[in-house]
Structure 1
Amino acid sequence: MTARALPFLMFEGRAEEALSFYASTIPDSRIVDIVRYGEGQAGKAGTVMRAKAIIAGQEVLATDSPMQHDFTFTPALSFFVDCSTEEEVERLANTLGEGGQVFMPLDNYGFSRRFAWVGDRFGVSWQVNLP
C-alpha cells in the first residue's frame, strides 16, 4: 500500500451542508460517498460519520464530530484554488466568502492578477487565485 495524505475536515453537525455547498459552487467538485451515524452509534443518527468528496479535483474526507471541541478550523491551513478566468475567481471569492470572513479582499497583490483569501460560513479557509 502506498501512503497518501488527504485533507480531513471535521465539522460539528454541518459536514453534509458544507460538502453540498462546495459541490455546487466549485468546478470539478462532487460528493462521492457519505456514511451516516445510525441509532446507538457515537454520533447523532443521520449525521456524517465519514464522507468522501472531490473539491476542485482534490479528494477530501469529512466528518461530523460527535463531540464538541474547543477548536475549529484555522486560516493557517487553506484550500488554494487556481481559477481560469477573472469571472470565476470573483464568483468563487464572493460565494465562498458570503457569511464568512474576508482575510484579503479580491485585488491584485503583485503575485497574482486577482486574488482573495476568505473563510467560508463553515470556518474553512480558501485562497482563490487567478495566476
Structure 2
Amino acid sequence: MEKPIPFLMFQEGNAEEAMNWYISLVEDSEVKSITRYGANDVGEEGTVMSATFSLKGQEFMCIDSHIKHDFTFTPSFSIYLTCTTEEEIQALYDALAEEGDALMPLDHYGFSHRFGWLVDRFGVSWQLDLPFKE
C-alpha cells in the first residue's frame, strides 16, 4: 500500500485555478502532474481529469468532477498549516479570506499564539496556526 494522499473534488471546473492559487501562496510548492479531459471524454474538454500538487512536500490530488453532487467540501476536513512568523500567517489568512468565509477569525485563542480557521473562495477549509515560541 502507498501513503495516503488528500483528494479534492471541485464541481465548478476550477480545480486548476485553485491548485495554482494554492501553490502561489505556499512556498516550496508545485504542480506535479495534470491530465485534462479531451474532446471525447466524459468531462468538459480542458478541465482537470486528474492532477497532483504539493504544498511544502505534502501531496494532494484534485479533479474537476464531471458529475454534479449534492455535497461539496466541509470544514470537518481542512488543510492545516503551521506558520513561523506573524507576517506569514497574516498574509496567508488575508489571501485565503478574500472572497472566503472566516470560521474563526485570526486571533489569540489561548492554545497558540495566533490561529485562524477559514473557508476559501473554492470552499476548501484551512486552519492556520502560529504556535507559541518555546
Q: What TM bracket, shorter-length normalisation?
A: over 0.9
Matching residue of 2:130 = 130
Write the mapping of 1:16-95 to structure 2, written as runs, cut at 5 A: 16-95=16-95
Where does the alignment leave 5 or more consecutive residues of structure 1 unmatched? none
TM-score, normalised with respect to structure 2:
0.94
Moved more, 26-35 or 119-128: 26-35
- 1:92 is paired with a residue whose SS is helix
- Give the aligned residue type for 1:6: I
Using the alignment, how far apart are the partners of 2:57 and 2:87 within structure 1?
A: 20
Kept in 2: contact 1:56–1:81 (CA 8 A): no
Deviations 1:45-91 (A, max 9, x none): 10000000002321000000001111100000000000110100011
Q: Structure 2 CA distance, aligned partners of 1:107 and 1:39?
A: 48
Counterpart-to-counterpart distance in 1, 2:28 and 2:114: 21
SS at match of 1:52: strand
| Structure 1 residue 28: Cα displacement | 2.0
AA paired with 1:8?
F
Partner of 2:7: 8
Unaligned runs of 5+ in 2: none
- Report the TM-score, using the length of structure 1 for normalisation: 0.96
Question: Which position in structure 2 is the counterpart of 1:114?
Answer: 114
- RMSD over aligned CA atoms reads 0.8
Q: Distance in 1 between matches of 2:112 and 2:7?
A: 28
Using the alignment, how far apart are the partners of 1:55 and 1:64 within structure 2? 19
**Segment of structure 1 superposing worse, 26-35 or 96-105:** 26-35
Query: What one-letter code is carried by the residue in structure 2 that aligns with 1:7?
Result: P
- Rounded to whole Å, the distance in 1 between the matches of 2:79 and 2:56 is 9
Once superposed, which parts of structure 1, at least 4 consecutive aligned residues long, lie more than 2 Å away?
A: none
